[in-house]
Amino acid sequence: MSTEQRAQVQLDRAGTFRAYPLSWTVESSDKPDSQSVAIAIQFGIFQQWHPDENGNGGQWSQEWPQGYFVYGRSFVVGRDGKTKAGAVEALAKAALWNGDWDALAGTPPNVFVLIEVEPNEFGGKTTYRAAWINPNADVPKPRSGAFAPADESLLASLRARFGGETRAIAGGKPAGHAPAPPAPGGATRPAAPSATPQRPVAPAGPAPATPATPAPAATPQRPPTPPRTPPVPGSGQGGVPPSEGAPSQPPGPPPAQSFGDAAEPTSGDGPPF
């Protein structure tokens, strides 16, 4: 199946997606004051991540129908003509590019990645682009300063190595029992915090759906071809129902859009991937 058949409708929403590269090319700036070089990649959309309302976990949608895509550009050379190591390393970690320029003349690798799609305002028009690329995973990496859950194996190792020492230094007191500091100016001292913190109240609304099956494997060997129609709920493939998480069959192909479209400038450094 040709790339044109697998790329008919450009993505029109922001979010986190599991995707795979359909095609790629290399672009250099046409401005005299910039030596930037970008690797432009066209991604086919495979699934969308739907986080829980309380921000603890989430689930992947069912496989999207064939035809949805989004562009992304990774600037591997900056305006000053120097290699941007962070961008190159990010592409390598996602198994997209190994630093071989000649590889860009061929087809991109068969690999899943996770992409963060964000709106891009240019010339009074809003388009959407893959602004961040990460390696494929069962659960996307938290964004906006959120921490990932602590690694249980690391905690077990640290407990075995330092548990007695750190508890001895801290006095072994349970959290929440430290006395309040003296109040300045003789003011009334605030009460010590409660040893039993109150449980946060979950937001109102229906409970998030539970996936019918475990999430897809984190490292598939080749991206499967998305089906023409979403899998039937209850067929063992799980995920968010199509009416909630995956669009219907895409319409016919839109007008052709090149990588040099005015709405997707390539002369700037852009965000790191």
Mean pLDDT in runs of 10 for the chain (273 residues)?
70 95 95 94 96 83 93 95 94 95 95 95 91 93 60 80 79 54 48 45 43 43 44 44 60 42 39 43
Q: What are phi and psi of 7, to 5 degrees?
A: -135, 90
Would you state the pLDDT for residue 17?
Answer: 97
Residue 6 is predicted with a pLDDT of: 66
Q: Would you state the structure tokens that stand for residue 100, as one six-digit string? A: 């071989």
Between β-strands 15-28 and 113-122, what pairing exists: parallel, antiparallel or unpaired?
antiparallel
Backbone angles phi, psi at 170, to 5 degrees: -80, -5
What local confidence, expressed as pLDDT, does residue 38 receive?
Answer: 95
Q: What pLDDT is attached to residue 49?
A: 96
Where are the extended beta strands (E) located within 173-230? none
Cβ(132)–Cβ(95) under 8 Å? no
The pLDDT value recorded for residue 148 is 55
pLDDT for 106 equals 95
The whole-number pLDDT of residue 3 equals 62
What predicted TM-score, i.e. pTM, was given to this entire model? 0.59
* Residue 155, CB-side half-sphere exposure with 13 Å CA sphere: 4
Q: Is 186 left (phi over 0), alpha (psi -120 to 50) or beta?
A: left
Would you state the pLDDT for residue 157?
Answer: 83
